[in-house]
Amino acid sequence: MGVQLPTAFVKRMEQLLGDEFEAFMTAYDHTPHAGIRVNTLKIPVEDFKERSPFELRPIPWCATGFYIPHGTKPGLHPYYHAGLYYIQEPSAMSPVELLNVAQDEAVLDLCAAPGGKSTQIAAKLQGSGVLVTNDISVDRTKALAKNVELYGVRNAVVLNESPDRIADAFPHFFDKILIDAPCSGEGMFRKDEDMAKQWETHSVDKCVVMQRDILRVAASMLSAGGRIVYSTCTFAPEENEGMIAEFLEAHPDFDVVPVPSEAGFAPGHPEWMSEEVAAAHPELRGTARLWPHLVEGEGHFIAVLQHRGGRVTGTEDHTESEDLTPFEDKDDRVLNIDAAYPRKKPFLSVKEEAQTPSGQGRHATGESKRNGKGMDGKSGKGKSARGLGGNKSRSGKENVKSAARSPQDVLESYHQFVKEQLEVCFTGYTVVYGDRIYQSPMASHRLDGLKVVRPGWFMGTDKNGRFVPSHPLAVALRPSEAVRSINLSSSAAEAIRYLKGETLSIPVERMALRNEVQPKGYTLVCIDGYSAGWGKWQDGMLKNEYPTGWRWTSV
């Protein structure tokens, strides 16, 4: 056997599985299955199948998922850097499929990092509705935000918050909630031997406490008639059937939606908790277990919880604020984040300045409200921002020139860029965090007091009156939405040279120009017709704008 399994784990599984135990143990002698999921925000599945550089075999439970041969290195292809697919363990694709996301819905991915399931949800929303994706770990939100950006997601808000604080801000708000709960990770032992080594310290008992609180709080964020999908990558019944049994006792207005077994999913085992639980909740057999000896994937548990409608029971009574109606599109909701978050986190409390069309009318929220002080409407007051942006120099002193620019000035440079460089109609709300501009899918007051990693689609940065477009703006655009674009072939060396940050020689004849625009300026660089980043073209040379932290580093 290739994996050294904890003795206590082996003994428990032998007791639970009985006649299936030998087949289960044999699975650990086999190589884990590798998979990719096509990002339909950028390319239809059929188009990807026609141009795929890999041999593909369909994953039964995910129409956009495919097995790839062992030893394939999908991260070493230009298509990966263009965001055409996500590298994902096959079983991990199943929870989002059962969430049944529809366009225009509000969806929460509560324990989201590193972001695979969030990008899967975003593909189902197709730019409509709103996706709030969150992780409680500061470090893990870095990967979460990067994946949301790499895969061209336009309608996501990325948070670094505890579930209870999100619940305070979003009572009964979400149509669908995904809880990919922190767990003891037993289902990943074959794929990640470190998880087997850490199993005893990352105990089932500790995980149960977290899971119980997460489920309880999630119910208070669900709208009437909404759906929660709870999943783990562990076999422990205490973290699976036991958690759902407790939830159903506290929330009798929820039903378990039976998971189909056609894809090889096995039923839940409430009797593994106790005969009493099995008798009280036979519906728990409608949950699903993915076993490595029964499906081509790692171990998972999934429960689909459907609310019947009406008021959600077992939750505190939250009262909506009086003004939750978004402004019209012509009104800019301008967020100034100018004060460091007081708990010494690298994120910021929110201060908001709402402008009416005439420029009159302000109200203070966030930190200023808690301090009993109103906003003065001026940018650069208070402590400088960190994390999402800021106005401090390396010495720690205020950058007076940058701080003097008002949000309206910042917006003016952004709007001028959009007018001259793009052919796209943005939806949602334009918000300003320091010198950084975002398009947010929701009204800004919904984020008051929360630790915001990304309030929306990051457009770029104002540098003393000049708008500098961001990499996330580029990778989410289609070639037709930029007035200048250049196409590189994935089979040519120059595509990899671009991804490595090199300057390219590109004759003007290769440029696609719209509306008789001059060739000099920001140019959307595409690989086989799919956006990959920015360049700046002048006199036959394409200056590379591909960000250092995103570059191709492999030989």
User: Is there a cis peptide before residue 519, judged by omega within 30 degrees of 0?
Assistant: no
- Residue 238, phi then psi, degrees to nearest 5: -60, -30
Which of 200, 288, 201, 298 lies closest to 244, judged by CA? 288
Cα separation, 240 vs 287, whole angstroms: 9
The separation between CA 295 and the C-alpha centre of its own chain, rounded to angstroms, equals 27
- Residue 87, phi then psi, degrees to nearest 5: -85, 115
233 catalytically annotated: yes
DSSP run (H or E) holding 63: strand 62-68
Q: What is the DSSP letter of 93?
A: G
Q: Which amino acid is at 68?
A: I
Mode of pairing for the β-strands spanning 300-307 and 254-256: antiparallel
Cα separation, 281 vs 268, whole angstroms: 11
DSSP run (H or E) holding 148: helix 138-150
Q: Using CA atoms in the order 390, 393, 395, 397, what is the torsion angle rounded to 10 degrees? A: -70
- Report the SS3 class of residue 232: strand
Distance in angstroms between the alpha carbons of the first and the last residue of the chain = 33
Reading the block at residue 388, the tokens are 């999402």
Query: Choosing from 62, 233, 425, 526, which is the catalytic residue?
Result: 233
Q: How many residues does the chain have?
A: 555
Catalytic residues: 233
